[in-house]
Amino acid sequence: MGAVTTRKAPWRFPRLSDPVQEFFLCILFHMLLPFVPLVAEIAVLGRVEKKTVLLFLAIYLVSLGVSSHSRLMFGATIVFGLMYSMFFGLAAAGGDLAAPVIGFGYLILTLGMLFQAAERYNRHVVEQDRFWEFTEETKQ
Amino acid sequence: MNLDPLPEWMYALVAVIGIILAVAIVRRKLKALERFVALLATPERAHTLRALWDEVMRDGVATPAEVHLLVCALKEAAKSLSPKDQRLILGGFMQRSVLGRARYVAMIINRAGIAEGPLPVPVI
């Protein structure tokens, strides 16, 4: 009887697990895609108008908050979103404010994004939550 | 309106604080999961869960009702955790997606060494 020969499995390119893929998908679509208009403005004008930044901050902060599971994050981003909507209105009307509005906006944006990234890691990688649920239909 | 940027050190400081906060949020969750897995690995609990897992996996797939059974068993076991850990662990069972819940259950059971492999839920 001949010896049993085993064939070595072919090398496979390593693949990210589904939860990790969904986490990065979330970062890409939920957190980075909204920056596209700013990038487009830089591409066309070579700079971003300050009014655009104020409008972006108003909308982006709210969009981060409404998808968060944290009540504090939700409440805080709604308040900041309303504040920056008001600042945008003031800037559009040529109003004047002493506080460094955009500077604080960047700080809030940084904190909000980091907090959201951590929360999303917990949801998609640790809790294995799906990013796109609308494709799901299960058999009973 | 004053639209000038703030000093650079302030951005760096806030970024560092944000990163520390983010790491703390993730670490707290992972620690709670570690304690839960250790709790499940006790022989009595592991035996009960293993029997339930085998029952569910008899036909190779799990229906949403069977996933719910396993979720209930894990929720019951989580009652022995501290209230803070319970809140962190139970969040994963409240997700809307059945596939997500099945993946979470399988991940916990696999980590506790009770069973191996995924919990496949048939999708239409």
Taking alpha carbons only, the member of B3, B22, B39, B25 closest to residue B112 is: B39
A2 pLDDT more than 60: no
Distance from C-alpha of B73 to C-alpha of A31, rounded to nearest angstrom = 36
Asked if residue A5 is part of any domain, the answer here is: no
The confidence score (pLDDT) of residue A98 equals 59
The confidence score (pLDDT) of residue B102 equals 93
DSSP B1-43: ---PPPPHHHHHHHHHHHHHHHHHHHHHHHHHHHHHHHHHTSH
Contacts of B82 (CB under 8 A, 6+ apart): none
The confidence score (pLDDT) of residue B17 equals 93
Asked if residue A92 is part of any domain, the answer here is: yes
Q: What is the band of B73 on the pLDDT scale with cuts at 50, 70, 90? A: very high
Token pair for residue B53?
Answer: 């897992």
Instruction: Read off the pLDDT of residues A9-23 as tens digits, 9 standing for 90 and up.
Output: 888 888 888 889 999
Structural domain count, chain A = 1
Nearest to A117 among B22, B100, B121 (CB): B22
Residue of B3, B8, B69 to mutate, testing the A interface (most A Cβ within 10 Å of its Cβ)? B3
Q: What is the band of A138 on the pLDDT scale with cuts at 50, 70, 90? A: low
Is A57 touching B (CB cutoff 8 A)? no
Distance from C-alpha of A116 to C-alpha of A113, rounded to nearest angstrom = 5
B82 pLDDT more than 90: yes
Average pLDDT over every residue of A69-86: 93
Q: What is the band of B75 on the pLDDT scale with cuts at 50, 70, 90? A: very high
A81 neighbors A58 (Cβ within 8 angstroms) = yes
Nearest to B2 among A98, A113, A138 (CB): A98
A93 pLDDT more than 90: no
* Cβ count within 10 A of residue B124: 7
Subunit contact A100:B2, Cβ cutoff 8 A: yes
Asked if residue A135 is part of any domain, the answer here is: no
Residues above pLDDT 90, as percent of chain A: 54
Taking alpha carbons only, the member of B30, B101, B116 closest to residue B70 is: B101
Asked if residue A93 is part of any domain, the answer here is: yes
Instruction: Read off the pLDDT of residues A116-131 as tens digits, 9 standing for 90 and up.
Output: 999 999 999 999 888 8
The confidence score (pLDDT) of residue B101 equals 92
Asked if residue A136 is part of any domain, the answer here is: no
A25 neighbors A131 (Cβ within 8 angstroms) = yes
Which residues of chain A are within 8 Å of residue B85 when distances are taken between CB atoms?
Answer: none
**B92 → chain A, closest CA residue:** A127
Provide the mean pLDDT of chain A: 87
The confidence score (pLDDT) of residue B21 equals 92
**Minimal Cα–Cα distance from A20 to chain B, Å?**
13
User: pTM of the prediction?
Assistant: 0.84
- Domain carrying residue A71: 18-126
Q: What is the band of A94 on the pLDDT scale with cuts at 50, 70, 90? A: confident
Asked if residue A9 is part of any domain, the answer here is: no
The confidence score (pLDDT) of residue A9 equals 80
As for the ipTM of the complex, it is 0.82
Asked if residue A58 is part of any domain, the answer here is: yes
Asked if residue A79 is part of any domain, the answer here is: yes
